[in-house]
Structure 1
Amino acid sequence: MNLTLVAVVAIALFFDFTNGFHDTANSIATSVSTRALSPRVAVASAAVLNFAGAFVSVAVAATIAKGIIDQDAITLEIVMAGLVGAITWNLITWLIGLPSSSSHALIGGMIGSAIAASGWGVVNWGGIKDKVLIPSLIAPFLGVAFAFLLILGITWLVARRAPTKVNRGFRKAQLVSGAFVAFTHGTNDAQKTMGIIALALVASGHLDANFERPPTWVIAASALAMAAGTYAGGWRIIKTLGQRIAKIDPAQGFAAQTACASILWGTAHFGFPVSTTHTISGSVLGAGAVRGFHAVRWGVAGNILVAWILTIPAAALVGAFMELVTRLPGGHVIVFVLAILIAASAFLARHFERRRLAPPAEPKNAAVAAAA
């Protein structure tokens, strides 16, 4: 097998891993923030359900593989460069705790590398508009509206019940709604990596361009990589979604999760690669707004909107740059090494920052304290 193809598959699976820990918050932030689940249990269950959800449908994978870039113009170099562009933006936003879209990062990276290689005509702009931009723009607003209406109905139903009993009941209900989000996240997001690997297999001649379903090993590997990334967690983004957009109670968490998961289930059925991050962000915003617009931290919501606008062009610029690098002597190796260095730098930065922010250890006893 072509070594470049092996490198592309490895990078794609690493992107899937970053997608998992970058988007862990999508399924568990509200459950953790309302104390419906402990962080460890929430992450573990989300990982399992992400894995299971990846086997349900391949409509989104087909959109990524066939509906965005002209397959005849795709090369392994384009796919590799686009993936590195997506990974770079994912890690930047992960480090600053910003819930950006891994889906948009992937699509942006691929668009940028393809344009750099073959010009603007290689991109299926109609497919981008109809299957990516419009659904991704509508999904967060649907989340706002659906979650807002759902929490209004819930508030009316439980108006005369004791708050303690209501919170206890909806913490249990969040076990179901959170599981639904995790499952639909796997159905939606893991397919994007399946589509990219399938595209690489088509470019290398290992898969027919008119394939109906990616090979089973592609589905299983993508599902496993996302599950592993989900278990690794993304605690900063969890804090942003769970508390910083709006402080929510268990009933609001249930409404936000139910709204988000329902939208993701529908979009996956139609093959729309929407952003799970933006959908859950909109749903949290809608559920939080039931207490009044003052209950929502609009500055944080504005930052998420800025990330939504920037993600595709930013990832596209990095993808285009990486495609130019592949043209250098040994360019494939250079880009592969750059991907490793970018990942290592991000993890090291996060490691040292966590050590810097960690509280000092308490002395074991007074004697130790006196000696210090």
Structure 2
Amino acid sequence: MTLFLIVIIAVLAFEFINGFHDTANSIATVVSTKVLTPRQAVMMAATVDLAGALIMGTSVAMTIGAGLVDVSVITMPAVLCALLGAIFWNLFTWWLGLPSSSSHALIGGLCGAAVASAHCDWSVLHWSDVDAAGNIIGIWPKVIMPMLIAPCIGFGVAVIVMSILYIVLKRVRPRFINMIFGKLQIVSAAWMGFSHGSNDAQKGMGIVTLALCTATTSGLFDDLPSWLSFLRTPEMKVHTWVILLCGITMAAGTAMGGWRIIKTMGHKMVKLQPINGFAAETSAACVIVAATHFGVPLSTTHVISTSIMGVGAVKRFSAVKWGIVGRIVWAWVLTLPITCLVGFGLMRLAHALFTF
């Protein structure tokens, strides 16, 4: 039971870190364009993040909990090692000020820990499959393909939206445009925050549910007192209290802010005006909400970053500081393999030190 409590604390730590690490996804542009102060932007993001977590269902949580690895090989130590790998990468990239993917960090850690738990049997990973309900699951369709396609879609949609706005508003005075889109950007930033909460909070929900299911099937909860019977979860089902717990924790983390990453995305990568921020946020949010609907654990970081690149490229290709973009892309590329290795290494170390 002690190990289970440690796992739950680690999940909440991951969600909290995810909140302040990915805060920049939804508010970097609205802060950089000076439409809102950092404090106002963070408080708004925390509120809409929570709303997104509570409203958008649990399809992404089910993908994380049961759609990527064989749950029969998952143990409490494996879940803990996966979380520690993801937390390590999130804190490391936050310290560097790089907007990396919390989603891929968690998925990489989970895959590495699962393989180590199964004594290096790679067949425990669901590469591409169909579940009992006929839904497509697996790492390739739910993680790798979206990782490659979603940033391109975010870039393309942002280019289209920005181009249309330039054409429609080319005869309008810049002062009037800044005034109008200064207000509209508050709406687009809130929409972006909502989409972030709808997708990212579910990842913690999936891990909590996986931990509850593992504890129940392994017999850890056999002697629970009646007042704790709500913890028993014999099958993958996300409880309401899990949704509330993860949503509130991530909102609290969001309220802490993530200024290093905000500086990179909102100031270093490209100089933004309110109309640019509106186009980037609206484009990214639409892509993320669509992914959430289909149960895809998308990287909100990837999508908003490429959307910002897209609006910057329309403004002027050289306006995007491609050197900074190169550093960001390297962080994206390395996230899955590094967290997979960390999760694998921690699980192998656990096997060497403990008997379970």
**Is the pair's TM-score, using the shorter chain for normalization, greater than 0.5?**
yes
Q: Tell me which residue corresponds to 2:110.
A: 110
Q: What does 1:148-163 correspond to in 2, within 5 Å?
A: 148-163=159-174
Q: Tell me which residue corresponds to 2:7.
A: 8
Q: Tell me which residue corresponds to 1:348.
A: none
Structure 2 letter corresponding to 1:69? V
Q: Tell me which residue corresponds to 1:135.
A: 146
Is the counterpart of residue 312 in structure 1 residue 336 in structure 2?
A: yes
Runs of 4+ in 1 over 3 A off after TM superposition: 328-332
Aligned residues between the structures: 329
Is the counterpart of residue 43 in structure 1 residue 69 in structure 2?
A: no
Is the counterpart of residue 296 in structure 1 residue 320 in structure 2?
A: yes
Structure 1 residue 308: Cα displacement: 1.1
Q: What does 1:1-372 correspond to in 2, within 5 Å?
A: 2-56=1-55, 57-118=57-118, 119-126=121-128, 127-205=138-216, 206-211=232-237, 214-329=238-353
1:64-102 C-alpha deviation (Å, 9 max, x unpaired): 011001011111111000000000000000000001000
Q: Tell me which residue corresponds to 2:229.
A: none
1:136-174 C-alpha deviation (Å, 9 max, x unpaired): 211111111111110111111111111111011101001
C-alpha distance in structure 1 between counterparts of 2:144 and 2:328, whole Å: 16
Contact kept in structure 1, 2:84 and 2:343, CA below 8 Å: yes
**Aligned-partner SS, 1:327:** helix
Structure 1 residue 292: Cα displacement: 2.2
Structure 1 residue 326: Cα displacement: 2.2
Q: TM-score, normalised by structure 2?
A: 0.90
Structure 2 letter corresponding to 1:75? T
Gaps (5+ residues) in structure 2? 129-137, 217-231
Q: Tell me which residue corresponds to 1:350.
A: none
C-alpha distance in structure 2 between counterparts of 1:331 and 1:252, whole Å: 56
**Aligned-partner SS, 2:187:** helix
Contact kept in structure 1, 2:201 and 2:250, CA below 8 Å: yes
C-alpha distance in structure 1 between counterparts of 2:126 and 2:268, whole Å: 37
C-alpha distance in structure 2 between counterparts of 1:304 and 1:165, whole Å: 34
RMSD value, Cα? 1.2
Contact kept in structure 1, 2:65 and 2:236, CA below 8 Å: no
Q: Tell me which residue corresponds to 2:131.
A: none
Structure 1 residue 216: Cα displacement: 1.3
Structure 2 letter corresponding to 1:111? C
Structure 1 residue 324: Cα displacement: 2.0
**Aligned-partner SS, 2:54:** coil
**Aligned-partner SS, 1:302:** helix
C-alpha distance in structure 1 between counterparts of 2:158 and 2:353, whole Å: 53
Structure 2 letter corresponding to 1:327? H
C-alpha distance in structure 2 between counterparts of 1:263 and 1:162, whole Å: 30
Contact kept in structure 2, 1:257 and 1:280, CA below 8 Å: yes
Percent identity, aligned pairs only, is 47
**Aligned-partner SS, 1:289:** helix
Structure 1 residue 273: Cα displacement: 0.4
C-alpha distance in structure 1 between counterparts of 2:346 and 2:267, whole Å: 37
1:162-207 C-alpha deviation (Å, 9 max, x unpaired): 1111011101001100000001100000000000010011111121
Structure 1 residue 34: Cα displacement: 0.5
Contact kept in structure 1, 2:62 and 2:236, CA below 8 Å: no
Structure 1 letter corresponding to 2:37? S
C-alpha distance in structure 2 between counterparts of 1:33 and 1:48, whole Å: 20
C-alpha distance in structure 2 between counterparts of 1:331 and 1:261, whole Å: 46
Contact kept in structure 2, 1:71 and 1:209, CA below 8 Å: no
Structure 2 letter corresponding to 1:49? V
Structure 1 residue 329: Cα displacement: 4.6
Structure 1 letter corresponding to 2:316? G
C-alpha distance in structure 2 between counterparts of 1:136 and 1:226, whole Å: 23
Contact kept in structure 1, 2:210 and 2:236, CA below 8 Å: no
C-alpha distance in structure 1 between counterparts of 2:151 and 2:252, whole Å: 27
C-alpha distance in structure 1 between counterparts of 2:244 and 2:267, whole Å: 34
Structure 1 letter corresponding to 2:83? L
Deviates more, 1:67-76 or 1:262-271: 67-76
Structure 1 residue 323: Cα displacement: 0.9
